[in-house]
Amino acid sequence: MPTGPKGQKRPADVIGNAARVMRIATGEQAEDVIDDGKDPAAKALGAKGGKKRAENMTPERRAEIARKAAATRWKNIPK
């Protein structure tokens, strides 16, 4: 049986998955949400961090980081 991104069990076939979604939507079955153990407030602050970091950087520094990332992506493409 396939697993979701957080390890939850999912039906292998499309019809079984559609039936499961329907049961969750109608309230017949509880949704299997696994607690990742992280504080929701900390996760929210972490999501803001990258944006704040980019705002504080100079355009030259952002361009330097983008060039390095592009070079790394293109380096790994098979020829």
Of 47, 29, 30, the residue nearest 38 (C-alpha):
47
Residues 1 and 27 grouped into a single domain: yes
| pLDDT in the model for residue 69 | 92
Residues 27 and 44 grouped into a single domain: no
Domain count, the chain: 2
Residues 49 and 71 grouped into a single domain: yes
DSSP secondary structure string for all residues of 12-75:
SSHHHHHHHHHHHHHTSS-------S--HHHHHHHHHHHHHHHHHS-HHHHHHHHHHHHHHHHH
Residues 44 and 66 grouped into a single domain: yes
Residues 44 and 30 grouped into a single domain: no
**DSSP character for 6?**
T
Containing domain of residue 27, as a range? Answer: 1-34
**How many whole angstroms separate alpha carbon 18 and alpha carbon 16?**
5
pLDDT tens track, the chain, 79 positions = 566 666 667 667 888 888 888 888 998 888 776 667 788 888 888 778 888 888 899 999 999 999 999 999 888 777 6
Residues 18 and 45 grouped into a single domain: no
